[in-house]
Amino acid sequence: MPLFEYQCKACGHRFEELQNSTETEAPLCPKCKSKTERQFSTFSAAIHDGGSCDSGSCSTGSCPTGTCPFS
C-alpha cells in the first residue's frame, strides 16, 4: 500500500497516510477534520560509502564485479 502526503486546506497541517492507490477521496485532516489535498512527494535514497579504492581493490575487500564502486 503506498504512502501519500497530504496538506490541509484550512490549517496547513501536513501528514502522511497509507492509502490504497485506487481510493480517490482524500482523508480528512487529523487536526481539524477539514478537507485535504494530496501533495507531490519525492523519495529519498542514501548511498553508503563503506570504504575507498586503492590500486583497484576496495578497503572492504576485492570488488566482485571487477570494477570499484568508489572510483
Give the residue numbers spanning the domain of 10: 3-38
Residue showing cell 481539524: 32
The pLDDT of residue 23 is 81
**In-domain check, residue 34:** yes
Question: pLDDT by residue for the chain (71 residues), tens digit each?
Answer: 788 899 999 999 999 999 887 888 999 999 999 999 999 877 766 665 555 555 555 555 556 666 666 55
Closest CA to 52 of 44, 65, 63, 40: 63
The total number of structural domains in the chain stands at: 1
**In-domain check, residue 29:** yes
| Model pTM above 0.75 | no
CA–CA distance, 21 with 52 (Å, rounded to integer): 42
The pLDDT of residue 27 is 94
CA–CA distance, 35 with 33 (Å, rounded to integer): 7
